[in-house]
Structure 1
Amino acid sequence: MVSVQRATRLALTATLGLSTSVGTAAAHSGGLAGATREPIAVPTWLFLLTGGGVVGVSFLLASFVTDRRLVAAVHDWGRPLPDPGRVLRTLVRLASVGVLALTLVVGFLDRADGVRNLAILVVWVAWWGGYVASTYLLGNSWPALNPFRTLAEAFPSLDRPYPDRLGSWPSVAGLLLLVWIEVATPLADDPRLLASVLAAYTVVTVVGAVVVGADTWFERADPLARTFRYYGRLAPLGVEDGRLRLRLPGGELPDAVLDGRGDVAFVVTLLFVTTYDGFVATGPWASGARTVVGAGVPPVVVYLGVYLLGATLFYLAYRASARLGQRRAETYLSATYLARRFAPSLLPIAAGYHLAHNLASVLVLSPTLVAVAASPLAPPPSPPQLAGLPAWFGGLELACVLLGHLLAVWVAHATAYDLFPSRLQAVRSQYGVTAVMVGYTMLSLWIVAEPYVAPPFIAT
């Protein structure tokens, strides 16, 4: 563990500048003031079919790449990088705890709301929008940056045994809970509520790490650490033999084998929650929710019911794709094992959609963050924002989604060739996961293309 933390220091150098009841669904950077989506200029059906077709065609093109040595060479390429030293790691750990403390203090004490409050900007712009993107664009520096771990390691560990029967499922439940709170409570406008949630998360995380040990807690139960660890496997900076290594994006994913169904569920849930976060801010959702609530169903039941149903359907769809791949490949490998091997190929999709969903907010509100940080307890009455994004920016967001899906197709292709000795088996094993990717692509593109609409029945 020490070597892993040491190896993340160079990633810290690159990413430090990027870090740190039903309520408002704007409780995320994608819904903060200044970030809006405009409708596309072509018919939606044509746009979605084109996006899905691009992913399908990319699968066909990848199928022609049958040279195993070439596929292996692409993913084995890498270069070792130097260790920047212990001092940087110590300073960054202290700085991360300081940022956490400052966020809590400003959240509780500053009377300013919305984007005039530094706590709101740090959490949703600097951390959720900027830092999270750095974990899959550059590398996962969270093991050394993690302020919750720094606090937990200040206490003696009780080293109680972690129940093996729980596996990784607590992290799945924690991820679902965190995103539900994000979507369904007014965190984007109420800094005191945000600080309360952050304080509660800090207490639960520190206590959990002290009880079962920091290594076990952050490896198996903590949803944030697991999110960043999975995203870090996609990044060009990674750890190999205790040293930081430069590699091609996604190069580690074809060799990754998830431990069990809980890990598979976590990856699929990571993809789903990002999708749901954008889905509730679309016009069709608003119309549908009004219709159902008008029939007498409480709003909280509508939002929570669709949330849980959607998570279940995403997981079942992926499991069905693994069974289809097993049948088409005619392999002795179980569908469960195939699900564990191909699940990492979904990570580029989640990363691409996260980037598309948050990039505009990070760019528009970066000047706001700088201005408010200069005087956190007395922010300017009208902090500056980026005046406006060019017309082509919407195309860049869509490109992020498509590039994520195209990389996912290649990762699935490389995984299949690592699994099967027969080239025909390798191609056929991808039928299921490719079909699911096409569906995910069309859904993601549709959400990104829809104009932002404030979800109905939301208390502000």
Structure 2
Amino acid sequence: MVSRPRSFRHPGRDERSTAHRFAVSLSAFVVAVAVSLSAFVAAAGVATAHAGAVRSAAPGTIEVPTWLFLLTGGGAVGASFLLASFVTDRRFIRSIHDWGGTLPSPGRLLRFVGRFVGVAILLVTVYVGFVGPDTQLRNLAILVVWVGWWGGYVASVYLIGNTWPTLNPFRTLAELLPSLDREYPERYGAWPAVVGLLALIFVEVVAPIGDEPQTLAAVIVAYMGVSFLGSVVFGSDRWFDTVDPISRTFEFYGHAAPIARTDDGLQFRLPGAGLSEAGLVVGRDQVAFVVAVLYVTTYDGFVGTNLWAGFVIELVGFGMPPLLGYLLVYLVGFLLFLRVYWWSARLARRYGDTYYSVEYLAERFAPSLLAIAAGYHLAHNLGVMLSLSPTLLDVGGSTLVDLASGATISPPQNPLTLASLPSWFSGLELFFVLLGHLVAVWVAHAVAYDLFPDRLQAVHSQYGVTAVMVLYTMVSLWIVSEPPATPPYL
């Protein structure tokens, strides 16, 4: 074969071609974001009307069927995939995910203060949970766990960075205990964490730990006991890095945050950029855990809908015990989520026409689901957190004063609350749902272009995961837009 002489090449042609592709990719990326957000505006407007149960059109409003609202949201995610497919310049994609810099280390003193604060909050929460008032919104333990920790702190992990390795009070106390340093069976992998996460959320749904402070405190003590036992047997590092479901959830969520801990200190980057890293998820057990993180946030919202209330009432009508019905649907739903995701991985291998195994493709695309889980968590909990933050501050200040003075814990009878959120807030919740899915689409796009040398391969490999994301989008938007209902029999 005769190759073309080097002297026949046009000087600067490759450079101009690269610059042209970069410009085209940048333009396509901007268009993708603009069109997706425009589609969101339409979806948000529809959802606001739906959430407010507007059936008869008021002046200046349009009654839109629920199915059209859901298709609009799912179509926005599908459109973002189609437009992101025009972003084909690998250097541009890589430059987005490699952008960032370093931050100064927080130092040992700040880490010591963080550990002290974490343990202090844990001890106060447990103590007040057992001896404080029985009233839900007057007991600091309820407010700390559900408003401060579950609503606010969890959001900070994926919005700012994972500070849990420092604040984790269970690990701080467990490190003070002796350890047998037994070898952890490698065949177990992250499966105990999967079981632990599913168990925690199921207890949160079916047990009255959101209403009864003593029950909540007992669950925290039980969780502490399991953590101490596991740390004594296997060592605290092994237990909290591998088995502990909360630590593992925060570790994964932290990869979506703009601030990350590295061997060289702290690093800042674009939000979601860390989810495209290779080696973040390894093995079927970790794939199952990521799917579980997404599933439990969805199930937690689903049990608060009228559809679920009617369904579980029907199950009980057929003679099934209520708790068994909750558990059965819970486990079947998780297996269904897991099965659908593995189906998307098989589609990625088929349409990507690659020698990569289905398991490896499932591992690489799985982190994109964390962006969806983060967006839904924020949408589902932000309203509660904002409404009850004044209550947390009011009750917290009064309780700490009583503890410091040795007086009986007696918070205000009617603590401060935020009466109502503005009418546009429901649209903001839907924005967070859609934003999480758009980030997930981009992460999957970046992973595909990192894996496949051919552009068509990269695009075709995303068919399955995009279809799953569209499905998840429609389910999440439906749950967020539904009027809240009390789960029956609990």
Q: Which amino acid aligns with 1:310?
A: G
Question: Corresponding residue for 2:326?
Answer: 303
Aligned counterpart in structure 1 of residue 302 of structure 2, from 276, 279, 284? 279
Is 1:289 matched up with 2:321?
Answer: no
SS in 2 for 1:383: coil
| C-alpha distance after superposition, 1:372-414 (max 9, x if no partner) | 1122221111111012100000000000000000000000000
| C-alpha distance after superposition, 1:430-455 (max 9, x if no partner) | 01100000000000000000000001
1-structure distance, mates of 2:105, 2:478: 43
Question: Corresponding residue for 1:440?
Answer: 472
Aligned Cα root-mean-square deviation (Å): 1.0
Question: Corresponding residue for 1:147?
Answer: 169
SS in 1 for 2:415: coil
2-structure distance, mates of 1:389, 1:327: 48
2-structure distance, mates of 1:39, 1:324: 39
Question: Corresponding residue for 2:160?
Answer: 138
Aligned counterpart in structure 2 of residue 229 of structure 1, from 251, 258, 262? 251
* Aligned positions of 1:332-371 closer than 5 A: 332-371=355-394
Q: Which amino acid aligns with 2:371?
A: P
SS in 2 for 1:305: helix
CA contact (8 A) 1:256 1:344 kept: no
1-structure distance, mates of 2:64, 2:156: 32
1-structure distance, mates of 2:320, 2:488: 14
Query: Of the two, which has the highest radius of gyration?
Result: 2
SS in 1 for 2:366: helix
2-structure distance, mates of 1:39, 1:140: 38
SS in 2 for 1:244: strand
Structure 1 residue runs of 5 or longer lacking an equivalent are: 1-36
| C-alpha distance after superposition, 1:80-132 (max 9, x if no partner) | 00113211110110111010000000001113321111000000000000000
Q: Once structures 1 and 2 are overlaid, which stretch shifts more, 412-421 or 255-264? A: 255-264
Report the count of equivalent residues: 422
CA contact (8 A) 1:38 1:450 kept: no
> Following superposition, which runs of at least 4 residues in structure 1 exceed 3 angstroms of deviation?
37-42
Q: Which amino acid aligns with 1:387?
A: A
Aligned counterpart in structure 2 of residue 120 of structure 1, from 142, 147, 171? 142
1-structure distance, mates of 2:302, 2:184: 36
Q: Which amino acid aligns with 1:395?
A: G
* Aligned positions of 1:311-350 closer than 5 A: 311-350=334-373
Cα deviation, residue 218, structure 1: 1.1
Q: Which amino acid aligns with 1:312?
A: L
Cα deviation, residue 38, structure 1: 4.2
SS in 2 for 1:245: strand
Question: Corresponding residue for 1:205?
Answer: 227
Q: Which amino acid aligns with 1:47?
A: F
Q: Once structures 1 and 2 are overlaid, which stretch shifts more, 81-90 or 424-433? A: 81-90
Q: Which amino acid aligns with 1:148?
A: F
2-structure distance, mates of 1:246, 1:307: 37
Question: Corresponding residue for 1:162?
Answer: 184
TM-score by length of 1: 0.90
1-structure distance, mates of 2:176, 2:315: 50
Q: Once structures 1 and 2 are overlaid, which stretch shifts more, 248-257 or 317-326? A: 248-257
The change in CA–CA distance for 1:256 and 1:113 in structure 2 (over 3 A counts) is: farther
Question: Corresponding residue for 1:382?
Answer: 414
Higher relative contact order (CA 8 A, sep 6+): 1
Is 1:82 matched up with 2:82?
Answer: no
Q: Once structures 1 and 2 are overlaid, which stretch shifts more, 92-101 or 374-383? A: 374-383
Cα deviation, residue 253, structure 1: 1.1
Structure 2 residue runs of 5 or longer lacking an equivalent are: 1-50, 55-62, 400-408
